[in-house]
DNA sequence: TGGTGGGGAGTGGTCTGAGGACTTAGGAGG
DNA sequence: CCTCCTAAGTCCTCAGACCACTCCCCACCA
């Protein structure tokens, strides 16, 4: 087995076996090198791999630690790779988001948090008042994030946020011929979601959320805009 | 900015800008070092990070390449970190699986693939005939995988497979006092799913799949078994 | 007594240089 | 035309050195 793979398997095993739980500190690099039988370079590459996956955290001058192993944090690490996926794959991911967010929106409606509807209304008022693309994206994310968070499953919230972040790179809302029609349709979709939540109607909430995101999918398929780097 | 982060951002930018598309080959390491202004160690750690996320592939003796950037492949990279997530997080992930797999099962029922029902029936016959834990796990995965694949979204298939792989580490089916009852309930759940698919009934299929996975969640919450390393 | 600042040990981050292992393409030989 | 082999190209691993950062302890001062 290759040296880096040996180190990777060894580190993974130390966590999987329960020897090191969430937040635990690894031995210093020289000791790990000796124990795993690899050079420091190879060990560090293995550590980097696990760090990229959100399993390990290296703190300069302090040590190397097992992460909290929280699924939401781990999922958020995938943002980097998701942001590089081409359009065809993004459409598949949007179907995932549509299904999950419909579920989360229904859960939010069922939970009857009295503070949620006023918060969402405040966000929508700002959203409806602006025509700035970046501002639209920020407020849209805030709206959907608040709903998902109210759904009660942080993992679902993280997953939908990662996918939404990718969709945001395709600037549907750039000023153009279709801008007004798209913006109005989007605003109406948000209001429909809020209305369903305010009426404590989970089924209507799921339908409204699903329709809203399906609309985004249709725009992406039709416009096929170029993604914006950075 | 730290050296490794500089290299990471540079590599990422080369892909995001469109300079290197899926499958494209990177320049050799020495040239990348010079262009990005970092040493080979730092460059290699950055490459390892992106490789862990499924964005880059290094082939010994050949070169470094951009991956296919296929969302299903990228999601499968997740498997390593998901397998280390503790029970509490697994339950959150199972909710994701339940929602997605209900959706995929409904889609499979709606698609009316004539080969699907016979295939599933054959798998279930084998599954119902065995009491070996590993065999149960393998056939169960095969059953659900075939359904998700028929759902038509490879990303959903990959995501559910990763989560299912984690659930499999908690051996619900180890021989014990509850074994027979659990096995029978599980078998009945599979049959209900198959019946709904055979009857081309998407709503019933979604309900059956959702109930089947919800049952797994209940077992995990109740039994709280210890995960099996390796 | 309690707070504060500095210093030193511990630890991860980066660079350099060297040699080994693997892949691939192209030419020699059949 | 096919096969085998050579050689160039490229990534993989190791070793050693030095730098940067964190944290704890202790002397110092109010």
SS3 assignment for B92-161: HHHHHHHHHHHHHHHHHHHHCCCCHHHHHHHHHHHHHHCCCHHHHHHHHHHHHHHHHHHHCCHHHHHHHH
Put simply, whether the predicted model's pTM sits higher than 0.85 gets the answer yes
Banded pLDDT at A223 (limits 50, 70, 90): confident
Residues A45 and B44: beta-carbon distance below 8 Å: yes
Residue A59 (CA) to nucleotide D23 (C1'), in angstroms, measures 12
Class of domain B74-223: mainly alpha
pLDDT value of position B170: 75
Cβ–Cβ below 8 Å for B154 and A81? no
* pLDDT, averaged across chain B: 93
**pLDDT digits 0-9 by tens, B16-44:** 999 999 999 999 999 999 999 999 999 99
pLDDT of residue A174: 66
| A227 contacts on B by Cβ (under 8 Å) | 16
Residues of A with CB below 8 A from B70's CB?
A: 85, 89
Per-residue pLDDT band for B122 (boundaries 50, 70, 90) equals: very high
Nearest nucleotide by C1' position to the A30 CA atom: C11
pLDDT of residue A229: 54
Q: Tell me: the pLDDT tens digits for B174-207? A: 666 678 888 999 999 999 999 999 999 999 999 9
What residues of chain A lie within 8 A of the CB of B72, using their CB?
A: 92
Q: Which residues 64-103 on A are within 7 A of strand C at the CB atom?
A: 64
pLDDT at B222: 84
- Is the pLDDT confidence value at A213 over 70? yes
CA distances from A202 to A112, A209, B212 (A): 10, 10, 22
Instruction: Give B121's contacts (C-beta < 8 A, 6+ positions apart).
Output: B194
Considering only CA atoms, give the Rg of chain B. Answer: 22
CA-based nearest distance B42→chain A, Å: 9
Going from the C-alpha of A86 to that of each of B22, B54, B170, the distances in angstroms are 9, 14, 35
Q: Please say whether the beta carbons of A33 and A63 come within 8 A.
A: no
CA-based angle A182:A186:A132, to the nearest 5? 70
Within 8 A by CB and 6+ apart from A219, the residues are: A172, A182
Residue spans of the domains in chain A: they are 3-69, 74-223
Rounded CA separation B160/B141 (Å): 10
Task: State whether CATH 1.10.10.10 applies to domain B3-69.
Answer: yes
Position A48 scores a pLDDT of: 98
């Amino acid at each position: 087995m290759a040296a880096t793979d040996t180190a990777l398997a060894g580190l993974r095993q130390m966590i999987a076996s329960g020897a090191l739980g969430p937040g635990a500190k690894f031995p210093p690099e020289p000791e790990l090198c000796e124990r795993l039988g690899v050079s420091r370079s190879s060990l560090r590459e293995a550590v980097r791999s696990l760090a990229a996956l959100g399993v390990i955290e290296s703190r300069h001058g302090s040590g190397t630690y097992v992460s909290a192993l929280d699924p939401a944090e781990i999922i958020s690490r995938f943002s980097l790779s998701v942001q590089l996926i081409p359009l065809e794959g993004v459409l598949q991911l949007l179907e995932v988001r549509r299904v999950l967010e419909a579920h989360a929106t229904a859960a939010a409606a069922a939970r009857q948090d009295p503070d949620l509807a006023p918060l969402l209304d405040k966000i929508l008022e700002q959203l409806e008042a602006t025509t700035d693309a970046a501002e639209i994206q920020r407020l849209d994310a805030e709206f959907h994030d608040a709903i998902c968070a109210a759904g009660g499953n942080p993992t679902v919230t993280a997953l939908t946020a990662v996918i939404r972040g990718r969709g945001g790179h395709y600037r549907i809302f750039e000023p153009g011929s279709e801008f007004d029609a798209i913006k109005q349709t989007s605003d109406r979709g948000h209001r429909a979601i809020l209305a369903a939540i305010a009426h404590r109607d989970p089924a209507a909430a799921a339908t409204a959320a699903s329709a809203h995101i399906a609309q985004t999918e249709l725009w992406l398929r039709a416009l096929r805009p170029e993604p914006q780097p950075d």
